[in-house]
Amino acid sequence: MRNRTFVIPSRLLAATLFFSSWSVSVIAEEEFDVLGELSLEDLLNIEVETATKTAEKSSLSPAIMTVVTSQDIDNYGYSSVAEALSHVASFVDNYDLAVHNFGVRGINSGVRSGSRTIKFMIDGQAIAFRSTSQNFIDKELIPMDMIERIEVVRGPVSALYGANAFLGVVNIVSKSGAKLAENGGSVGLKLSSTSNAGSGYTASATYGRNNDTWDYSIGMSASDEDRSDIALPRRSPAYESISMQQSASDDSEPLSLYARSKYQIDETSSIKMSGHYQQLSVDNPFSDINPLQPEGATKIALGNMYFRTDYDIALSENVTAHAFMVYSQGETLDKDKIEVGAESFFLERRFGYDGFDIGAEMFVTFREKDSLLVGFDSKRDNQKVETFTRVDRLTGDRTELNPARDETLTDIGLYAQYLMQVKENWRAVAGFRLDDDSVIGQQSSARLGVVGQLSNDIILKVLAGSSFQAPSPELLYRTAVQAGDIIGNSDLSAQKAETLEVSVAMPLSNFIHMTLTYFNTKVDELVVFESDGSNLFANNSSGSTTDGLEVELRMLWQGINAYFNYTWQETEREHNPFSLFVLEQRKDGELYPEQAANLGMSYFWKEPQINLSWNNRWVGKRDASSLNVLFINQNYELDSYLDSTLTISTDRFSMLQDKKGTLRLQFKDMFDSNYVNPGFGGIEFPSLGRQVLLSFEQRF
C-alpha cells in the first residue's frame, strides 16, 4: 500500500478563496434564477421526440417517460449520464468501477453486460460499442454542459428502434448552437479527491453559434483520476484466496468529443452533420477474471466513434421526408491489455468493428392531428471477432493464440407508426416493425397504446408492446483463452419481451404532481451465463415474469425544486432446464433489488445567490450473482445502502465582466457508506467512497 495523504480539501479551500478574492466581476445584483422560468406545468409538458419520433408534450406521450433537464444536471451537479440515470425510477446501476451496468425493472443482464438491454442514443443516433453491445456512459460520453435534456423511456421501443431497445431507450438531446450562443460558451475545471483513493481532474469546454443559415456547436471533456488503494469488499467469497486486498494501479482517463451542425438550404430543406468520439481508458482491477494481480490490472482501452449526416425536406404542407447515413467504428487502443496472472506475459486483443448505416422515413399528417410514419433502416457491420496475442513482458515477443477472424453482420428493418386523435382529449398509437437479421433471422416488434385526459387533469396511459435484444458478436463468436472466460454460442436466439403498462398522473396540489405506474414484463429466451466449472457459456434459458410499481413525485414551491421516486418489483424466473447446478435456479432473479428509491431537493437562496441541493439514492437488498453463489455454494444477499450527495453552488463569481461563472462544491457519498455492488468470479464490487469535488465553470 502506498502512503497517501488527503491533500485536496486544503487545495479546495485555497481555490475557493482564490476565486472569491481574484474574481474580476462579482455579479451581485443580477439574479440567476436556478429554476429558470419553468413552472411545474412546464416541467411536466416538456416537448420530447424519443417515444414517437414526433414532437409532443412529455405528459401526453404514449410512453412512460422521465425527462432529466439541463437544470436538473446543474442543480444536482451530475458529472455523467450514468450518475443522472442512477436517480431515475427503475434504473439501478451495478458498477464495477470500469463500465456501468444498469438493470431496469427487475432485469439485469449479468456479467460484463454494460447496460446492453437499453438503447442509448445521442440526438437519435445509437452509441453502443457494437462488438459487445455495451454502452460507455460515464465521463467518456458527451460533455454534460452540452446536454439540453435526457429523455428516458422505460418499456419496449423496438417497434421504432429495433434491436436492443429492449427494456428502455435513453436519448441524450444536445444543445443547439443557438442555445449555447444564448448562454455563452464555457470552459470548466473540476478537481476531485476520493477518501479511499487518490485525486483527479476533469476539464471541459463547449462553444456554439448560429445565424440565419448555420447552427453549430462543439464540446469536449477529458479526465484523469487516480483510484488506487480501493479495498476489495470483505463480503467477497474469494476474499481469503486473493493475495491483494486492494487495488495498486487504478487509473481512469476518459475522453469525449461531440460536434453538430445544421445548414438551412432553403425554406423547405436542411442538412445536419454530427460526430461523436469517446475513449474509454480505465484500469479494471476488480475484473471477474484474475482480479487484483501483483503484475498489474487489466486495462480496458477502447475508442468508439460515429459520423452522421441527415437530410430533411418538406415535400408539401402535410408531407416531410428524412434520410440519413452513418459511418461508425470501434477498436482497441494501444493501452488495452488483459492480465492473466502470469509474471512473464500478458495478452493483447484484436477487437473492434466498422459499420455503415442508411435509412429514410416519411411523415404524413392527416386531419391536422393524425399522422403516419413509415421508414426503413439498414446496417452492415464488419466485426473483428475478439482474438488474442501473448506478449512477453521482457522481450516484447508476440505469439498469436488464435487466428484473426472477421464476421459480416447485416440487418434491414421496416417500420410504421400511426398516431390517431380518437377524441378531443384522447389519442392512440399503433406501431409495427419487422427486422431481418443475418444471424437471428426475422424479428417482429409491435406497440399499442392509448393516452387520455380525464377530469381534474388526470392523465391515463395504457400501453402494450414487444421488444427484442440481439446477441452481441462477443456472445456469438468469442473464443476463451483462460479459465473463467466467456465462450461464444453461435446458436443464441434473440431475447424477447412483452410489456404491459398502466399509468395514472395527477396533480396533488398546485405545486406537487404524482405519477403512479404498474408494469408487467414477460421475457422469453432469457440469456443467462452458465458455468461448466471452468468457463462461462451464454445460453437461452426459459424465461421470467416481473410485476412492479413505480411512484414519481415532482414539486416546485417557493424556490424548492424537489423530486421523489420509488420502485417495487417482484420477479419470478422459470426453471432453467439446461442448468447443471441447483443453486443456479434463481427463482427471484439476481442483481436487482426488490425496492429502490430516490429523493432530491434543491433550493435557491436569493440573498447570497447560493443554490443548495441534497440528492439521495437508496438501493434495497440484492441477491448475489449466480456465479458468486456457486463459488461459495450458498445463496446470500448484499445489504441495502444509502448514497447521499450535498452540492453547494453560486453564480456570483466571474472572471469576465457581465458573464456568468459557476463555483460548485460537492460531497458525494456524504456518509462514506462504502456500499457494495454484486460482483462475479468470487469478488464483489466496491464503491468509490466519499468524494470531495470543487469545480469552476466560466461562460464567455
Q: Are 262 and 269 in contact (CB under 8 A)?
A: no
Judging by DSSP bridges, how do beta strands 486-487 and 536-540 pair with one another? parallel
Question: What local confidence, expressed as pLDDT, does residue 179 receive?
Answer: 94
The Cα–Cα gap between 149 and 651 comes to 21
- Whole-number Cα distances in Å, 610 to 15, 24, 366, 392: 18, 19, 50, 57
Give pLDDT tens digits for 232-287.
999 999 999 998 999 988 999 999 999 999 999 999 999 999 999 999 999 999 99
Contacting residues for 470 by C-beta, under 8 A, at least 6 apart: 133, 163, 164, 411, 437, 439, 440, 443, 494
Question: What local confidence, expressed as pLDDT, does residue 526 receive?
Answer: 81
pLDDT category at 586 given cuts 50, 70, 90 is confident
Give pLDDT tens digits for 354-402.
999 999 999 999 887 899 999 999 999 999 999 999 999 999 999 999 9
- Whole-number Cα distances in Å, 584 to 495, 513, 529, 554: 19, 43, 10, 41
The set of cell numbers assigned to 522 is 414477460
Higher pLDDT, 5 or 636: 636
Q: Is residue 14 pLDDT above 90, yes or no? A: no
- Percentage, residues of the chain above pLDDT 70: 93
As a whole number, mean pLDDT of residues 3-28 equals: 37
Give pLDDT tens digits for 621-647.
999 998 899 889 899 999 999 999 999
Give pLDDT tens digits for 171-187.
999 999 999 999 888 99
Q: Is residue 584 pLDDT above 90, yes or no? A: no
pLDDT category at 146 given cuts 50, 70, 90 is very high
Q: Is residue 35 pLDDT above 50, yes or no? A: no
Higher pLDDT, 443 or 626: 443
Give pLDDT tens digits for 540-555.
887 899 999 999 999 9
Per DSSP, which regions of 143-198 are E strands? Answer: 147-154, 168-174, 186-194
The set of cell numbers assigned to 149 is 435534456
The Cα–Cα gap between 411 and 471 comes to 13
The Cα–Cα gap between 686 and 50 comes to 35
**Chain centre distance of CA 565:** 18
The Cα–Cα gap between 182 and 207 comes to 11
Say whether 177 sits in a helix, a strand or coil.
Answer: helix
**Chain centre distance of CA 427:** 30
Say whether 619 sits in a helix, a strand or coil.
Answer: strand
pLDDT category at 30 given cuts 50, 70, 90 is very low
Question: What local confidence, expressed as pLDDT, does residue 373 receive?
Answer: 98
Question: What local confidence, expressed as pLDDT, does residue 196 receive?
Answer: 84
Question: What local confidence, expressed as pLDDT, does residue 122 receive?
Answer: 98
CB atoms within 10 A of CB 532: 9
As a whole number, mean pLDDT of residues 501-510 equals: 96
Contacting residues for 455 by C-beta, under 8 A, at least 6 apart: none
Q: Is residue 13 pLDDT above 60, yes or no? A: no
Q: Is residue 37 pLDDT above 60, yes or no? A: no
| Structural domains for the chain | 8-699 (2.40.170.20)
As a whole number, mean pLDDT of residues 648-654 equals: 92
Q: Which of 423, 422, 471 is nearest to 443 (CA)?
A: 471
Higher pLDDT, 537 or 462: 462
Give pLDDT tens digits for 108-131.
988 899 999 999 999 999 999 999
Higher pLDDT, 261 or 39: 261
Element (H, E) at 160: helix 158-161
Report H helices in 59-138. Answer: 70-76, 81-85
CB burial string 441-456: b at 16+ within 10 A, e below = eebebbbbbbbbbeee
pLDDT category at 658 given cuts 50, 70, 90 is confident
Q: Which of 255, 480, 304, 452 is nearest to 385 (CA)?
A: 480
Say whether 334 sits in a helix, a strand or coil.
Answer: coil
Q: Is residue 31 pLDDT above 50, yes or no? A: no
Residues in a beta bridge with 695: 190, 664
Q: Are 600 and 611 in contact (CB under 8 A)?
A: no
Question: What local confidence, expressed as pLDDT, does residue 588 receive?
Answer: 85
- Enter the pTM of the model: 0.93
Say whether 582 sits in a helix, a strand or coil.
Answer: helix
